[in-house]
């Protein structure tokens, strides 16, 4: 990424601001497609909770993607940005049967991960095909907060409960058109993933009318030099062979689906902040930026590492800084980090700010959420205005109690 374009955008639209590089999203999408070019029917459903601006959704839709959603509101955003309901899959966890029914009536593919819901839904709508989210109990995650495959996870129907699933299916005559797993957010080891896939294949053989198998996501992307990333090419090679064997065995070519979030958008995002003040204490130099965990919470919430570059002085000599925000609470973005010399007024760019950054932002301290810009081949467009006081006051009711 050329820093000068980031600087130019920050001059025009001011900091703090999120900037997304469409070309990077496109490259990641095509990389995934290429890795699975040995599959007859491949479906990529972008997991929109990672970054849900409707212009981003529209951009990804035009690459050929479907949409993975976890709430009725995400379904509505998807439809607003041009997705046909049949290209949306809804994978909720712990939501009400009423919401599931509403989404189903919109024509969206439902993915159920709870036996009680399965039975209620199947009894009422035996002719609406549903997908079942299986928990294969494989630990693929890199962090306890985001591994969802272990035995006591709240996600999915345990693979040990398949006999119960089959009984519900038989009793209700409902149609199962897909099986799904999403084993965790950070796949490090391809063989662990393949192991989970084998469990899903075994399960899949028990359902006769499948149209797809959905392997979820959890592709790991590098956040800093030396980080391991999921080897998509190796995964593509190994899983394609197994999947094509499965189809032969099953007697028909079904669809292979994925739902990547982070993989598609993480590295495309840059979050730009301005340094309000430099503060030296006895042991530390703090760089205090015009943001905080109200805008980017991953470092504080998950301990995530986001590379920080000083785009105002990229060639300055490195010094050690602790980068903090302006929130009245500890909000450390980075501890003791080597960054080219920082002066007050410099613009710092946080990398990997595409996934789970803006979507997790808030109005804490009654601050405005930042603007968002979509950049594509040197052209850029404002895709969300910075909030203002009207947004903060919206829906508030001033009551004066005597």
**Residue numbers of the site for ligand PLP (CB under 6 A)?**
47, 49-50, 68, 70, 91, 182, 185, 216-219, 259-263, 355
* Shorter beta-carbon distance to ligand PLP: residue 122 or 156: 156
CB of residue 57 to ligand PLP, shortest distance in Å: 14
* Shorter beta-carbon distance to ligand PLP: residue 224 or 248: 224
User: Strand, helix or coil at 28?
Assistant: helix
* Shorter beta-carbon distance to ligand PLP: residue 29 or 219: 219
* Shorter beta-carbon distance to ligand PLP: residue 70 or 383: 70
Dihedral-angle region of residue 365 (phi above 0 means left; psi in -120 to 50 means alpha; beta otherwise): left
* Shorter beta-carbon distance to ligand PLP: residue 35 or 311: 35
Instruction: Please confirm, yes or no, whether 328 is among the known catalytic residues.
Output: yes
CB of residue 142 to ligand PLP, shortest distance in Å: 10
CB of residue 147 to ligand PLP, shortest distance in Å: 11
Measured distance CA(301)–CA(293) in Å, rounded: 9
Q: Which residue is nearest to ligand PLP (CB)?
A: 261
Q: Alpha-carbon torsion 225, 226, 227, 230, what sign?
A: positive
CB of residue 330 to ligand PLP, shortest distance in Å: 27
CB of residue 388 to ligand PLP, shortest distance in Å: 30
> Which entry of 48, 131, 247, 328 is annotated as an active-site residue?
328
Q: Which of 254, 131, 136, 110 is nearest to 192 (CA)?
A: 136
Instruction: Mention every residue, 6+ apart, whose C-beta is less than 8 A from residue 398.
Output: none
Contact 1, 25 (CB under 8 A): no
CB of residue 322 to ligand PLP, shortest distance in Å: 28
* Shorter beta-carbon distance to ligand PLP: residue 155 or 380: 155
Instruction: Please classify residue 257 by burial: count the beta carbons closer than 10 Å to its beta carbon, then call 0-12 exposed, 13-18 middle and 19+ buried.
Output: buried
Measured distance CA(34)–CA(63) in Å, rounded: 13
User: Strand, helix or coil at 112?
Assistant: strand
Q: Long-range contact list for 391-395, CB < 8 A, 24+ apart? A: 392/363, 392/366, 392/368
Q: Which of 361, 129, 364, 363 is nearest to 372 (CA)?
A: 361
Measured distance CA(60)–CA(55) in Å, rounded: 9
Residues annotated as catalytic are 328
């Amino acid at each position: 990424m050329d820093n000068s374009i980031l600087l130019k955008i920050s001059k025009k639209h001011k900091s703090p601001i999120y900037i997304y590089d469409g070309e990077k999203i496109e490259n990641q999408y095509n990389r995934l497609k290429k890795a699975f070019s040995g599959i007859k029917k491949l479906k990529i459903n972008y997991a929109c909770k990672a970054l849900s601006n409707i212009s981003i959704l529209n951009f990804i839709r035009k690459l050929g993607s479907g949409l993975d959603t976890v709430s009725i509101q995400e379904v509505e955003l998807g439809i607003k940005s041009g997705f046909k309901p049949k290209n949306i899959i809804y994978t909720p966890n712990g939501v009400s049967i009423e919401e599931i029914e509403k989404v189903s009536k919109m024509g969206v593919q439902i993915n159920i991960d709870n036996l009680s819901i399965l039975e209620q839904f199947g009894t009422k709508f035996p002719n609406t095909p549903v997908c079942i989210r299986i928990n294969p109990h494989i630990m693929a995650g890199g962090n306890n907060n985001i591994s969802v495959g272990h035995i006591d996870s709240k996600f999915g129907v345990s693979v040990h409960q398949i006999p119960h699933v089959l009984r519900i299916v038989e009793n209700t005559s409902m149609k199962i058109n897909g099986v799904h797993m999403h084993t965790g957010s950070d796949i490090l080891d391809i063989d662990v993933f393949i192991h989970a896939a084998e469990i899903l294949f075994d399960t899949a053989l028990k359902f006769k009318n499948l149209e797809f198998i959905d392997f979820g996501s959890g592709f790991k992307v590098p956040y800093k030099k030396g980080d391991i990333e999921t080897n998509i090419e190796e995964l593509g090679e190994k899983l394609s062979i197994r999947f094509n064997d499965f189809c032969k065995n099953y007697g028909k070519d079904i669809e292979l689906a994925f739902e990547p979030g982070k993989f598609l958008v993480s590295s495309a995002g840059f979050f730009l902040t301005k340094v309000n003040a430099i503060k030296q204490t006895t042991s530390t130099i703090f760089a205090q930026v015009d943001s905080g965990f109200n805008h980017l919470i991953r470092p504080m919430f998950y301990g995530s590492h986001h590379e920080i570059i000083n785009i105002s002085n990229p060639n300055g000599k490195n010094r050690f800084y602790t980068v903090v925000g302006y929130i009245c609470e500890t909000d450390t973005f980075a501890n003791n980090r080597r960054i080219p010399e920082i002066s007050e007024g410099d613009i710092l760019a946080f990398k990997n700010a595409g996934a789970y950054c803006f979507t997790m932002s808030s109005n804490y301290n009654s601050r405005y959420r930042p603007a968002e810009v979509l950049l594509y081949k040197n052209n850029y467009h404002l895709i969300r205005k910075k909030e203002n006081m009207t947004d903060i006051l919206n829906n508030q009711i001033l009551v004066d109690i005597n």
